[in-house]
Amino acid sequence: MAVKMRLQRHGSKKRPFYFIVVADARSPRDGKFIQKLGTYNPLTVPATIQVDRQKALDWLQKGAQPTDTVRRILSFKGVLYLKHLLRGVGLGLFDEATAMEKFTKWSTEHDAQVSKRQSAHKKARTDRSQAPVVRKVEVQAEAAPAPEADAAQEEPKTEE
């Protein structure tokens, strides 16, 4: 049985909200699933993602294949990086304490970047809402008299 980690759509028309689920590959998109791993709301800025890292990691280690979007979400949340580190522990490249240390370091840096982006977005949003409305006013140009130099060139020539 092929198992996939994928999005299950909920919400109304033009207002999507997704559950991240583990399901049999043969079941329909919004049909029967094995386990719910979290939620994804793309309408908020930035998108709201809640994932149970441990459950997702367990399913990845069992061989569940994430879809492209779920792979991006798991990568953003650090689940794929944690799987990568635990694979290194299994191969004997380093111990589990080092792996967890690397993951916590990455997690703090990642959280700092995300909070920086959120604050920049909030600042831009408040600046945009407080900016004065500038309206363009068209000025009609008055008909200017022709310069005298042009008039001198148009004088008729006399034949000699």
Whether residue 11 lies inside any domain: the answer is yes
What does the alpha-carbon distance between residue 6 and residue 66 come to, in Å, rounded to a whole number?
A: 6
Domain boundaries, position 7: 1-70
pLDDT of residue 147: 61
pLDDT one-digit tens code per residue, 91-103: 999 899 999 999 9
Alpha helices in 52-147 (DSSP H): 53-62, 68-77, 79-91, 96-130
pLDDT given at position 113: 93
pTM: 0.75
- Report the pLDDT averaged over residues 73-102: 94
Note whether residue 131 is domain-resident.
no
Domain count, the chain: 2
**Please, which residues have CB within 8 angstroms of residue 22's CB and are 6 or more apart in sequence?**
3, 4, 5, 33, 34, 35, 37, 59, 64
Whether residue 66 is found in the same domain as residue 82: no
Q: What is the pLDDT of residue 146?
A: 61
> Would residue 34 count as lying in a domain?
yes
Are residues 37 and 96 located together in one domain of the fold?
A: no
| CATH classification of the domain holding 4 | 3.30.1320.10
State mean pLDDT over 104-114: 94
Contact (Cβ atoms closer than 8 angstroms) between residue 85 and residue 99? yes
- Residue 49 confidence class, pLDDT cut points 50, 70, 90: very high
Asked if residue 104 is part of any domain, the answer here is yes
Q: Is residue 62 part of a domain?
A: yes
Percent of the chain exceeding pLDDT 90 equals 66
Q: Does 92 lie in the same domain as 66?
A: no
25, 52, 70 — which closes off a domain? 70
The answer to whether residue 115 sits within a structural domain is: yes
Rounded average pLDDT over 143-160: 60
Q: How many CB atoms lie within 10 A of CB 111?
A: 11
- How many beta carbons lie within 10 A of that of residue 115, not counting itself? 10
Amino acid at residue number 2 = A
